[in-house]
Amino acid sequence: IKVKKYQYGNRGMTLEDDINESNKYYLSNKIAVIHKKPTPIQIVQVDYPERSKAVIKEAYFKTPSTTDYNGVYRGKYLDFEAKETKSETSLPLKNFHEHQIRHTEAVLACGGIAFVIIRFSKTEEVFLLEGEHLLKFWQRMESGGRKSIAKDEIMQYGHYIPLGIQPRIDYIRLIESLYY
């Protein structure tokens, strides 16, 4: 019972924590190799103290040119963003950067599988929305339409991912059924 308590429900883990944990499971079971990309940093000054390792003393965050995660499943290239929102009714599109949209377009143009994993944090519901739909909603905004994707739309065009134990967010199972 203790185990169940621990494994279900809100444990204060972020969506990224859950995805990272799922990725570890996929990796150790040789199912998929998916990693989060490190945040790019502009390094300005590094000190090399004697007998100890280099210390970065001045650096700045750079804007990433890609999305959060990528990797391989059954030979195919997978690429996705993780987005969490406190809103109960929609995912605001200001959560995306222009470069992430451009990257998604480029990946799709080269035959990759691109998507977003969205969590509504209040209800802990997780959905996968394919890149093609994300691009349509982005274009709707650019044409003067709404600046968010309604939860109804995510439920309609996306796919609900029930929470599991291991892996907690089994998005690969869904990708398998959608693309293979």
Amino acid making up residue 141: M
Residue 165 interacts with which of Mg ion, a second copy, none, CB < 5 to 8 Å by class: none
Cβ contacts of 142 within 8 Å, gap of 6 or more? none
Q: Binding to a second copy by residue 38, rule CB under 8 A?
A: yes
Using CB under 8 A as the criterion, what x/- string covers residues 68-87 for binding a second copy?
--xxxxxxxxxx--------
Distance CA(40)–CA(109), nearest Å, equals 25
Q: Which is nearer to a second copy, 72 or 150 (CB)?
A: 72
Angle between helices 131-142 and 98-109 (to 10 degrees): 130
Asked if 82 is part of the footprint of Mg ion (rule: CB under 5 A), the reply reads: yes
Q: Which of 166, 22, 2 is nearest to 82 (CA)?
A: 22
SS3 22: helix
Contact segment (CB under 5 A) with Mg ion among 20-28, 45-53, 75-83, 141-149 equals: 75-83
- The residues binding a second copy (CB under 8 A) are 27, 30-33, 35, 37-41, 53-61, 64-66, 70-79, 103, 106-107, 109-112
